[in-house]
Homo-oligomer: A and B are copies of this chain.
């Protein structure tokens, strides 16, 4: 069951390939990242923690990577895509029963008026989510959301939402997994909404999605026990809630964290307060042509403190315009 060393040079690569085994990573693991400091920093870190001879070596079980979703793995303008989905659901619901539109925010939502919804602040948006995301089973909700993501189109880009994940980040997720990392989503978005896309879009199974949690109850429906989504929120996985969510669901401090807004500040800080090596990355939205350009004053995904402190804290600022050769996973 072994090959003599003398015949390895001639046989090893084709034989391994025929056996379906992975070839050594001569290929660029991050082809959509331009060569430069950002790409080099990522690869250097991964190589140092995966090399058993390195002082920075981390065993596979502790190679935990956590990624924010909105603005980090896919776009989030002009509104979190879950919010845009909620508008569409609300509009359909109101056609059957107009009486559900009992506030200005709900009326604006059913009319597709994003600015009108946001005029009511986060409270307005939450009321839209409450009405649109309740009264169905978890399974039905996820099926409906999954269909919407792959068929509905973005108001200004015209692409399906499924096509608006970031190709460089998909490559980063795959690269980390190839190197023995477990990749998690840790998002302020709703856990059920994210799970509707996470496996297909990111290769991340449902048990590796941490998100905001609505009130779910175990009930009987048509004689069958089901999990029903009700209004209200039982856990907010954002800002200081992200380390709490990581503890509840993973129970280990991540060593690789990627985010894009001040909602990810605590998650980055928490990872960097741990012992051993760690890596932090912030996607900076600098590309008004291909994507969107925004940071300190954005109504979604505001990046202010993180922009001020990234350098001093050793967090990598990824300049989307200059560091990414390609933005979208689809639509090429």
Contacts and interface: CB of A to CB of B under 8 A. Distances in A.
A327 interface: no
A5 interface: no
Contact of A269 (B61, B138, B225, B270): B225
A206 B251 contact: yes
Interface string A197-214: 000000001110100010
Given A19-B1, A235-B234, A252-B206, A247 B227 contact: yes
18 contacts: A1-B16, A1-B18, A1-B19, A191-B248, A191-B251, A206-B251, A206-B252, A207-B249, A207-B250, A207-B252, A209-B251, A216-B247, A217-B240, A217-B244, A225-B269, A234-B235, A235-B235, A249-B249
Contacts of A241: 218
A224 B235 CA distance: 24
B191 A225 contact: no
Interface in A8-34: 15-16, 18-19
A46 B213 CA distance: 33
Given A235-B234, A270-B225, A248 B213 contact: yes
Nearest to A235: B234
Interface in A230-253: 234-235, 240-241, 243-244, 247-252
A243 B266 contact: no
Nearest to A252: B206
Contact of A218 (B16, B224, B235, B240): B240
Interface of A: 1, 3, 15-16, 18-19, 61, 138, 182, 191, 195, 205-207, 209, 213, 216-218, 224-227, 234-235, 240-241, 243-244, 247-252, 266, 269-270, 273
Contacts of A266: 218, 225
A218 B61 contact: no
Taken together, the copies of this chain in the complex come to 2
Contacts of A249: 207, 249
Contacts of A247: 138, 216, 227
A216 B244 contact: yes
Given A209-B251, A216-B244, A240-B217, A224 B273 contact: yes
A248 B251 CA distance: 15
Nearest to A195: B251
Contacts of A18: 1
Given A206-B252, A216-B247, A225-B270, 7 more contacts: A195-B251, A209-B251, A218-B244, A224-B273, A225-B243, A227-B247, A249-B249
